[in-house]
């Protein structure tokens, strides 16, 4: 029986690359994005699209319903940057949107998917985190906060879920050449900063889904082999 996968943020970038890779391996994919172009990606890989904003919990429910009776693989990838650097001048609407996409939608995805995975006896979940989940990035403190929250969730839930035969882990890439980083691409290159490709990250996503150890925080550097992050003991 072919695997069934749900991938969020799948209209482009890492999400699209992961969906294409999973479909190529035989999985039936449900792709989620607020960008209607996700319908073109779904059509190209023989999948199904759910167009909607993942900050709405109902969108995650719709995606799981579209998956049908099974849900083997879940990629919680949707994410966005923040332009607000100073909390004193923070635009609350933008703040709530960023937290909604990067943090709340991960919880909404789990809320929708876990009942199905539990009924079938297992599954595998990967969330797209970031270097910013493991260190402070002063260029985007709000994004950093949300990604730290995601890693905290992985650390807290991966053990309990593993006991239910559900793997829960994260990829933590550095800069990735996607539409999200397009505005700074020339600046990064001029500074000699190497960028990962979406395809490289997608390969690690699939590896974690298929064979990764629960709770893995897989750090991805351009030009280096992926390596799990080792959490230091509390002194």
Which domains occur in the chain, in start order?
4-228 (3.40.50.720)
Provide the edge-to-edge strand list for the sheet that holds 73-76.
48-51, 28-33, 4-8, 73-76, 123-128, 166-173, 217-220, 227-228
* 171 neighbors 129 (Cβ within 8 angstroms): yes
User: What pLDDT digit, counting tens, does each position of 125-139 carry?
Assistant: 999 999 999 999 998
Q: Output the pTM of the full model.
A: 0.93
For residue 221, give the 3-state DSSP assignment. Answer: coil
DSSP annotation of 232 reads P
The whole-number pLDDT of residue 183 equals 63
Asked whether the beta carbons of 178 and 11 are under 8 A apart, the reply is: no
Query: Which residue in 95, 108, 143, 229 is the catalytic one?
Result: 143
Residues of the chain with pLDDT under 70: 180-186, 188-193
Known active-site residue 229: no
Q: 3 CB contacts (<8 Å, ≥6 apart)? A: 22, 25, 26, 27, 28, 72, 73
pLDDT at 196: 84
Looking at residue 114, what is its pLDDT? 98
Please tell me the predicted confidence (pLDDT) of residue 167.
Answer: 98
């Amino acid at each position: 029986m072919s695997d069934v996968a749900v991938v969020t943020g799948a209209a482009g970038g890492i999400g699209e690359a992961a969906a294409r890779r999973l479909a190529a391996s035989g999985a039936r994919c449900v792709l989620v994005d607020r960008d209607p172009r996700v319908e073109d990606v779904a059509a190209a890989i023989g999948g199904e699209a759910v167009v909607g904003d993942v900050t709405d919990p109902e969108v995650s429910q719709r995606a799981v319903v579209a998956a049908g009776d099974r849900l083997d693989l879940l990629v919680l990838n949707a994410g966005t940057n923040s332009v607000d650097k100073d909390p004193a001048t923070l635009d609350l609407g933008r703040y709530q949107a960023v937290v909604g996409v990067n943090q709340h939608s991960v919880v909404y995805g789990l809320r929708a998917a876990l009942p199905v995975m539990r009924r079938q006896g297992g599954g595998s979940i990967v969330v797209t985190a970031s270097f910013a989940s493991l260190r402070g990035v002063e260029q985007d403190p709000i994004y950093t906060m949300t990604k730290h929250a995601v890693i905290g969730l992985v650390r807290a839930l991966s053990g309990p879920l593993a006991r239910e035969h559900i793997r829960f882990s994260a990829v933590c890439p550095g800069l990735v050449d996607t539409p999200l980083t397009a505005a700074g691409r020339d600046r990064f290159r001029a500074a000699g900063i190497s960028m990962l490709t979406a395809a490289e990250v997608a390969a690690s996503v699939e590896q974690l889904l298929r064979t990764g150890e629960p709770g893995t925080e897989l750090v991805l550097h351009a030009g280096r082999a992926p390596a799990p992050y080792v959490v230091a003991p509390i002194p």
